[in-house]
Amino acid sequence: MAAAPPHDMVVNLGDIVGYGASPNEVIECARSLGHIFVRGNHDKAASGAMDLKDFNPIAGLAALWTRDTLTPQNLKWLQGLPHGPIQTGELPALQFVHGSPVDEDEYVVTLRDAIEPLLTASTPLTFFGHTHLQGSFCTNSVASDYYRPQYNTVGQSETTEFPLKENMRYMVNPGSVGQPRDGDWRAAFAVFDSDARIVTFCRVPYNLKQAQDRIMAANLPQRLATRLAAGR
């Protein structure tokens, strides 16, 4: 949080819990930062709001452990998270979802995946999560494209700016603070300047070993700890 630039509000795009060993602490931190949330599939799984049959065994075990570990208050809060997409009165031209505007559990990984939600979204700008892959997709009547931030290091704090063009529709993924999947182990997030229409993608190193040690101490599957170092 100390690495985040000045901002007016914080939006959480889901998967608040699910793999890590500190679900209560994470929920309490997330709630202290702001009030805009959309639920993720791991939030639903950990709160008992969805069946675990579509989860791999490791993810399913982690969801059950999380459910048993959450305080009653945090479990109730997790169960009450809203279904995306949601909008705010301050920024009516954008919306927030977990998977996509079409389906909260849809994985938007490729440009082909993004075309339908881009064209059918009720707003020209959508922020989404779910894939844990930092970047964006865009389209208009004549062209479509995707963008993945490029960084120069593997262990320092870095940012890269991505200006939004006029007359384009965007889906932007800020990445994952705790579970990146793009091969970069650093925490990922983004800051949107709504006046300048610039998305700043950010990567920040954190105490990786401490997170791994807590997972191991909780007797969660070892894979949940080792994968953090690879960002996969």
Indicate whether 56 belongs to any domain. yes
Confidence category of residue 1, pLDDT binned at 50, 70, 90: confident
The total domain count for the chain is: 1
Task: Answer yes or no: is pLDDT of 111 > 90.
Answer: yes
Indicate whether 135 belongs to any domain. yes
Task: Answer yes or no: is pLDDT of 26 > 90.
Answer: yes
Is the link from the previous residue into 72 a cis peptide, with omega within 30 of 0? no
Indicate whether 3 belongs to any domain. no
User: Domain containing 146 — which CATH number?
Assistant: 3.60.21.10
Average pLDDT over residues 148-172: 95
Indicate whether 223 belongs to any domain. yes
Indicate whether 169 belongs to any domain. yes
Average pLDDT over residues 162-169: 95
| CA 37/CA 131 separation, integer angstroms | 17
Using a CB cutoff of 8 Å and minimum separation of 24, what contacts does 110-118 make? 110/146, 111/137, 111/144, 111/145, 111/146, 114/139, 114/144, 114/146, 114/171, 115/139, 115/144, 117/171, 118/144, 118/169, 118/170, 118/171
Query: Residue 57 phi/psi, 5° resolution?
Result: -55, -40
Domain with 205 in it: 11-230
Residue 161: count of CB within 10 angstroms of its CB: 12
Single out the residue of 192, 181, 189, 191 nearest to residue 228, CA to CA. Answer: 181
Average pLDDT over residues 207-231: 95
Using a CB cutoff of 8 Å and minimum separation of 24, what contacts does 116-122 make? 117/171, 118/144, 118/169, 118/170, 118/171, 119/169, 121/85, 121/95, 121/169, 121/171, 122/85, 122/95
| Average pLDDT over all residues of the chain | 95
Task: Answer yes or no: is pLDDT of 89 > 90.
Answer: no
| CA 229/CA 208 separation, integer angstroms | 7
Confidence category of residue 2, pLDDT binned at 50, 70, 90: confident
Indicate whether 151 belongs to any domain. yes
Average pLDDT over residues 214-227: 95
